[in-house]
Chain A
Amino acid sequence: MKLASYRKKSPWILHYNAGGCNGCDIEILACLSPKYDIERFGMINTGNPKQSDILLVTGPVTKRNRERLVEIYAQMPEPKVVIACGACASTGGVFRGMYNCEGGIDQYIPVDVYVCGCGTRPEQIIDGVVQALAILETKTKELEESVRLKKEAVKEKQQLNRRNIADEIKPAFT
């Protein structure tokens, strides 16, 4: 059975705002509008992690958000891909090094596609999703786990970060 080829035709997107400024979220919603209409590729914006394939994260991960982010990631059944949408989600953006933020979502969950821009443009988001679909097709149904649940956080010398004194995240699933 070549069921994997159908993953490309109906990607269901879960959108999570990990403490961003809402700029990227507006652009994501613009993708649903008549001008871009991503539903013609079968994409639906679901609010439900258990039925979605693509996790679209915006915003730097704030301290309060990170456990939810990891838990949402853990609740999604494989195969799944993660898109870091916007400068904040990719690297921390202008919030990098602040006491309440972590620098980007890739310190917690494995990220497949980074979309640049502060507010990303809808075209860039669609392009990122299309790249993510190519990755989605090659993924397996094996368990993928959050980075932070296994490893220590990425530490940089010049970075003044609350992470150094922050608590460890408890595993969402034991």
Chain B
Amino acid sequence: MNNLWIPIILIILAPFIGGLVYGFERIIKARMQRRIGPPLLQPFYDFLKLADKRKMIIHSAHAFLGIMHFVSLWFALGVLLLGGDLILVIFLHLLSTALLILAAYSTRSIFSHLGANRTAISILAYEPVLIIIAVSIFILTGSFDAAAAFQSEQPLLYKMPLAFIALLLVLPIKLKKSPFDVAEAHQELTGGVELEFSGIFYEAVYTAKWLDYVFCYALVYLFAGNNMLLGAGLIVFTFFYLNALDNSTARVNYKQMLRFSLAVSFSLAFINLLINSFS
């Protein structure tokens, strides 16, 4: 029973943990730019402030889809942390992003549409790689369940290092970090898909971003097996890698992103799959 309580607590506290990660990330990013940066609890201040704004919605379906994005993402995270089917997890995550894309297409704003197009393209860039990684885990552990990966004696990292590199290359796309942040692109699209949300309904999308952090770090933790120390090390490494990458690179356009992701990340994951299946 002891093993079941940890994921349940993690799932319930996921938005809080994600908010702390986001707050810490903003400080780290500021320090990398020689600034002081906001306080650690800044995301929660933003959260409470947004709760106090007047409600403005485009239409009810738009607001509803935004909230469903948050709910389905939390559900996907829950399935992942409870050790569910990895393919199911990936497609639930896809569903949550698809809901956000639908919300963005349901408005008449051109920026919202552009953001939705680009988010759809970024799904095309990272989704195949994640599925190939799930298949590699299936070949190694004999099961698609995340629980099999969490409990494996030998960390998966030693058997599939190329897949881990591929994951590191697609995580910036998923988290909308700098070289691959065309979907969000704060200077040109001012947020893309989240553009038309406001007040308490923006809160759902804003909090979903925090959940995405927890989701991605849980994916990273998959590679450590039952070795908790290695898992923590991998998460810390990924955190600093993502922020350093975000601060030091410029945005590429969506064609370059797609080409890079399908040519490099996908091939790395696929070579890893071939090695695993023939060894």
Interface residues of A (CB under 8 A from B): 3-4, 6-7, 9-10, 12, 34, 37, 39-42, 46-48, 50-51, 53, 75, 77-79, 141, 143
Asked if A77 contacts B198 (CB within 8 A), the reply is yes
Q: Would you call B49 and A10 a contact (CB within 8 A)?
A: yes
Contact with A along B95-133 (1 / 0, CB 8 A): 000000000000000000000000000000000000000
The residue on B at minimum CB distance from A41 is B38
CA separation between A154 and B49, bound complex, in Å?
35
A-B contact count (CB 8 A): 82
Chain B residues near A6 (CB, 8 Å)? 45, 48-49, 52
Among B26, B39, B45, the one with the most A-chain Cβ atoms within 10 Å of its Cβ is B45
Among B38, B42, B56, contact of A50 (Cβ-Cβ < 8 Å): B56
In the bound complex, do residue A141 and residue B54 qualify as a contact, i.e. CB atoms below 8 Å apart? yes
Residues A50 and B45 in contact, CB atoms below 8 Å apart: no
Q: Does B190 contact A (CB under 8 A)?
A: yes
Stretch of B28-36, B172-180, B247-255 lying at the A interface:
B28-36
Q: How large is the interface on B (under 10, 10 to 19, 20 to 34, 35 or more residues)?
A: 20 to 34
- Determine whether B235 belongs to the interface, using a CB cutoff of 8 Å to chain A: no
B46 and A10: CB pair below 8 A?
Answer: yes
Quote the shortest CB–CB distance from B42 to chain A (angstroms). 5
With contacts A6-B49, A37-B30, A42-B39 taken as known, whether A48 is within 8 angstroms of B55 at the C-beta atoms is: no
Which chain A positions have C-beta within 8 A of B51?
3
Say whether, besides A48-B191, A51-B202, A141-B54, A42 and B33 are in contact (CB < 8 Å): no
Whether the pair B35, A3 counts as a contact (CB closer than 8 A) is no
Is B223's beta carbon under 8 Å from chain A?
A: no
Q: Which single member of A3, A12, A40, A141 contacts B48 (CB below 8 Å)?
A: A3
Contact of B53 with A48 in the complex, beta carbons under 8 Å: no
User: Which residues on A sit within 8 Å (CB–CB) of B53?
Assistant: 53, 77-79, 141
Q: A41-B38, A42-B45, A50-B56 are in contact. List 4 more A-B contacts (CB 8 A).
A: A3-B51, A7-B52, A39-B35, A51-B50
Beta-carbon contact of B198 and A50 below 8 Å = yes
B190 contacts which chain A residues (CB < 8 A)?
A: 46-48
Q: A6-B49, A7-B52, A53-B49 are in contact. Are A40 and B197 (CB under 8 A)?
A: no
CA distance A51 to B34 in the complex (A): 27
Q: Is B187 part of the contact surface with A, judged by Cβ < 8 Å?
A: yes
Which of A9, A42, A77 touches B199 (beta carbons < 8 Å)? A77
Q: Which residues of B contact A10 (CB under 8 A)?
A: 42, 45-46, 49
Nearest chain A residue, comparing its CB with the CB of B29: A39
Decide: B49 and A50 in contact? CB cutoff 8 A.
no
Q: Whole-angstrom distance between the alpha carbons of A77 and B187 in the complex?
A: 21
B7 contact set on A, CB distance < 8 A:
none
Q: Report which of A39, A77, A141 forms a contact with B38, defined as CB distance below 8 A.
A: A39
- 5 A-B pairs (CB sep. < 8 Å): A7-B49, A40-B35, A42-B45, A50-B195, A78-B53
Chain A min CB distance to B166 (Å): 33
* B54 with A78: CB separation less than 8 A: yes
The CA of A79 and the CA of B196, in the complex, are separated in Å by 18
Residues of A within 8 A of B197 (CB): 50-51
**Interface contact A4-B56, CB-CB below 8 Å:** no
B7-29 Cβ-contact flags toward A at 8 Å (1 or 0): 00000000000000000001000
Q: How far, in whole Å, are A78 and B190 apart by their CA atoms in the complex? A: 20
Q: Are A40 and B49 within 8 A (Cβ)? A: no
Q: What CA separation (Å) do A75 and B186 show in the bound complex? A: 18
Which residues of the other chain, B, contact A34 by a CB distance below 8 angstroms? 33-35
Residues on the B chain within 8 Å of A3, using CB = 48-49, 51-52
Is B37 part of the binding interface, using a Cβ–Cβ cutoff of 8 Å? yes
The 5 closest A-B pairs by CB, nearest first: A47-B190, A50-B198, A3-B52, A6-B48, A9-B45
Partner of A9, one of B33, B49, B198: B49
Which interface residue of B53, B186, B191 has the most chain A CB atoms within 10 A?
B53
A47 proximity list for chain B (CB < 8 A): 186-187, 190-191
What's the minimum C-beta distance from B47 to chain A, rounded to whole angstroms? 8
**Among B37, B45, B49, B195, which residue has the most Cβ atoms of chain A within 10 A?**
B49
